[in-house]
C-alpha cells in the first residue's frame, strides 16, 4: 500500500483546486504521515476542508488537522480521520462487553481498518462471536481471524469497580506522607 490522497468526488472551482493542492502538499510533506502509507480523502467546499480516511496513530490524526488549519486559505477543518488505536479500542471494548468473549484474552491489532484477532478461545462458537462482534464495529473495514481453538471454557465474570472509599483512603495516606 502506498500513501494515497484521493481526488475529490466533485468538480472544484479554481480557488478550491488551489486549496486542495496546498492541503495535499502540506500533508505529503509531513514525513511520518507519508511513511505510514495513509489513505486520506480531502474534500473541499469553498474554504472548508474535510479530512477522511485512515492513519496509523492518534498523533498523525492530530497533526494532520493542525497542519491543515495553519494554512491561511483554510476557513475550517473537519477531521474525520480514523486512527488505528481508535479501532483497536472500539473492538476491544466490544469484546470485553460481550459475555461470550469477555473471559478470554484476545489480542486486537489494526492496520488501516483491517483488524486482526489473535489468541486462544475454547470453541468455534466463541471464535465466531469474536469475529461477528469485531466486524460490527463501525470503524472496522475487515476482520482477519487468527484465533486458535484450544483450552477449556471459562465462566463469565465481571471485574469489581474500586469503591469510592478506597480512593478517599488512598488520598488520606498520600496527605499524611506529605
Task: Tell me how far apart the alpha carbons of residues 150 and 98 are, in angstroms, rounded to a whole number.
Answer: 20
Task: Tell me how far apart the alpha carbons of residues 92 and 148 are, in angstroms, rounded to a whole number.
Answer: 17
pLDDT tens figures, 132-141: 999 999 999 9
Sheet holding 142-149, edge to edge: 106-111, 114-121, 142-149
Give the percent of the chain with pLDDT over 70: 79
pLDDT tens figures, 100-124: 999 999 999 999 999 999 999 999 9
68 and 31, same domain (yes or no): yes
- Whether 164 is in a domain gets the answer no
Q: In which domain, by residue range, is 34 found?
A: 4-74
Question: What stretch of H or E contains 91?
Answer: helix 84-97
User: In total, how many domains does the chain have?
Assistant: 2
56 and 96, same domain (yes or no): no
17 and 44, same domain (yes or no): yes
- Whether 118 is in a domain gets the answer yes
Q: Give the Cβ contact number of residue 138 at 10 Å.
A: 7
96 and 138, same domain (yes or no): yes
CATH number at residue 121: 3.30.1340.30
3-class DSSP state of 97: helix
pLDDT confidence of residue 168: 53
Angle at 56 between CA 110 and CA 77, to 5 degrees: 125
- Whether 31 is in a domain gets the answer yes
pLDDT confidence of residue 15: 86
- Mean pLDDT for back-to-back runs of 10 residues, the chain (178 residues): 57 86 92 87 92 94 95 95 96 95 94 94 95 96 94 58 56 52
pLDDT confidence of residue 37: 86
105 and 65, same domain (yes or no): no
Task: Tell me how far apart the alpha carbons of residues 151 and 5 are, in angstroms, rounded to a whole number.
Answer: 45
Q: Give the Cβ contact number of residue 31 at 10 Å.
A: 8
Task: Tell me how far apart the alpha carbons of residues 71 and 24 are, in angstroms, rounded to a whole number.
Answer: 11
pLDDT confidence of residue 2: 47
Residues 134 and 87: beta-carbon distance below 8 Å: no
- Whether 160 is in a domain gets the answer no
pLDDT confidence of residue 1: 42
99 and 136, same domain (yes or no): yes
3-class DSSP state of 49: strand
Packed helices 84-97 and 124-136: angle between N→C axes, nearest 10 degrees = 130
127 and 94, same domain (yes or no): yes
Amino acid at each position: 500500500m502506498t500513501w494515497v490522497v484521493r481526488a475529490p468526488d466533485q468538480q472544484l472551482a479554481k480557488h478550491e483546486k488551489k486549496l486542495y493542492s496546498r492541503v495535499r502538499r502540506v500533508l505529503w510533506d509531513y514525513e511520518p504521515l507519508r511513511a505510514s502509507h495513509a489513505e486520506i480523502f480531502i474534500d473541499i467546499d469553498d474554504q472548508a476542508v474535510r479530512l477522511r480516511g485512515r492513519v496509523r496513530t492518534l498523533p498523525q490524526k492530530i497533526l494532520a488537522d493542525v497542519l491543515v488549519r495553519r494554512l491561511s486559505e483554510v476557513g475550517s477543518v473537519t477531521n474525520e480521520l480514523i486512527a488505528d488505536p481508535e479501532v483497536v479500542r472500539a473492538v476491544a471494548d466490544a469484546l470485553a462487553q460481550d459475555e461470550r468473549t469477555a473471559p478470554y484474552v484476545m489480542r486486537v491489532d489494526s492496520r488501516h481498518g483491517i483488524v486482526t484477532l489473535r489468541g486462544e478461545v475454547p470453541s468455534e462458537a466463541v471464535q465466531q462471536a469474536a469475529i461477528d462482534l469485531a466486524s460490527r464495529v463501525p470503524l472496522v473495514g475487515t476482520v482477519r481471524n487468527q484465533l486458535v481453538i484450544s483450552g477449556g471454557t471459562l465462566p463469565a465474570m465481571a471485574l469489581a469497580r474500586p469503591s469510592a472509599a478506597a480512593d478517599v483512603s488512598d488520598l488520606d495516606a498520600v496527605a499524611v506522607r506529605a
